[in-house]
Amino acid sequence: MNTASPTSMQRVLTTLGQQEPDRVPLFLLFTMHGAKELGLPIGQYLSSGERVAEGQIRLLEKFGHDCLYPFFYAAMETEAFGGEVLYFDDGPPNAGRPLIETPEAILGLTPPAVRDAPCVLRVLECERLLKAHVGDRVPIIGVVMSPFSLPVMQMGFENYLKLLYERRDLFDRLMQVNEEFCVAWANAQLEAGATAICYFDPVSSPTVIPPAMYRTLGQPVAARTIARIKGPTATHFASGRTAAIIPDIAATGTAIVGASGIEDLAAVKAACRSHGLTVLGNLNGVEMRTWSHDQAVAAVKSAIAAAGPGGGFILSDNHGEIPWQVPDDVLHAVVEAARTWGTYPLTWTGEGEGIGR
């Protein structure tokens, strides 16, 4: 008899099939914490695919969670287009001066070739090293910025919103360029060893634009782009709300939806389950910085009680990146609670438990 525990990959695939695995999968989405493990400044750590791979592997061994996350920083894609990146000592790198200074500059914009962008080549090196280390035992989650959300960094939020409302001709041109890059970048990561692609699309959230605008603009972009990505995708809204557009998200062909920490997780789970979607979330990463052990346990229990029954749920933070300031003792408490309270069957989640949020 084979009594070996399921691998992380098996655990995730079971929950994606809307079935209950041995326990709720846990994704700790680390980007910067590997720098702490290696004793390096964030900028120096992120300048090497080999260093990030080593950091990811050390974190996996330290916490025993269920994924590897070779996401360096969001501004990398604008960097590939020739944009500026600003580094910080205690937070993620961010985009600098917008590279599209006038709307008319979009007419001359072309998608960069993945093979010619040193910043994205570092990610591909990292993914190849991770794949060689874990094979098919642990999911490797690649990341792309959606073509619809990337312009916030390419041209600035205010100018992009003006484009959405006033210059649909240039908007269409920008989406054509961004879609070509996004598809090539996603597929290069899958070829390098990524198991799936996280499609970050915060501008599409009802937190940012009306659902009607998403249905008219963001959703068609997502549907076209995801259809050309040669692997499974998870759509994440970086803490933004999703409940009002879940049927529209499902129609894009994605498999997973990132859940906000400010929505009713049980309601989001019910809506997603009716469309065959798995929920990812929704621990509050900002609050996590100051959690006590008991607060971490309570938050984990609350999320599992709301979304864990029946499978179709991956416990994670609600933003897609654990803040640099979250200490190890809180992360260990999250891991301990996930294993203690996330083991199926979830008999403790019955009515009357009184789990606080």
In whole angstroms, what is the distance from residue 188 CA to residue 151 CA?
Answer: 21
Is 353 a residue whose pLDDT tops 90?
Answer: no
Which band of pLDDT confidence, cut at 50, 70 and 90, is reported for residue 315? Answer: very high
Residue 211 and residue 159 in contact, taking contact as beta carbons nearer than 8 Å: no
Predicted confidence (pLDDT) at residue 213 exceeds the cutoff of 70: yes
- Asked if residues 202 and 240 have their Cβ atoms less than 8 Å apart, the reply is yes
Q: What is the pLDDT of residue 60?
A: 98
List of E strands, 52-96:
85-86, 94-95
Write down the mean pLDDT value for the chain: 95
Which among 68, 66, 67 is positioned nearest to 23, based on CA atoms?
66
pLDDT digits (tens, 9 = 90+) for 316-333: 999 999 999 999 999 999
Give per-residue pLDDT as tens, 158-211: 999 999 999 999 999 999 999 999 999 999 999 999 999 999 999 999 999 999
Q: For the whole model, what pTM was predicted?
A: 0.96
Structure tokens at 183: 């598809």
CA 88 centroid distance within chain:
21
Q: pLDDT value at position 54?
A: 98
pLDDT tens digits for 249-276?
A: 999 999 999 999 999 999 999 999 999 9
Q: What is the pLDDT of residue 4?
A: 78
Q: Is the dihedral of CA 9, 13, 16, 19 positive or negative?
A: negative
Q: Is the peptide bond before 94 cis (omega within 30 degrees of 0)?
A: no
Calpha distance 182→197 (Å, rounded): 11
Distance CA 221, CA 104 (A): 21
- How much is the average pLDDT of 293-308? 98
Region 33-57 average pLDDT:
98
Section 43-63 average pLDDT: 98
Distance CA 197, CA 67 (A): 12
Please determine, for residue 300, whether its predicted confidence score (pLDDT) is greater than 70: yes
- For residue range 217-239, list pLDDT tens digits in order: 999 999 999 999 999 999 999 99
Q: Rounded to an integer, what distance in angstroms lies between the CA atom of residue 35 and that of residue 133?
A: 19
**Residue 3: its pLDDT value, please?**
60
pLDDT in tens, 69-117: 999 999 999 999 999 999 999 999 999 999 999 999 999 999 999 999 9
What share of the chain in percent tops pLDDT 70?
Answer: 97
Q: What is the mean pLDDT of residues 48-61?
A: 98
Q: Is the dihedral of CA 26, 32, 36, 38 positive or negative?
A: positive
Is the domain spanning 11-349 CATH 3.30.43.10? The answer is no
Instruction: Measure Cα distances from 90 to 1, 42, 71, 105, 119 in Å.
Output: 49, 8, 17, 34, 21
- The average pLDDT across 57-63 equals 98
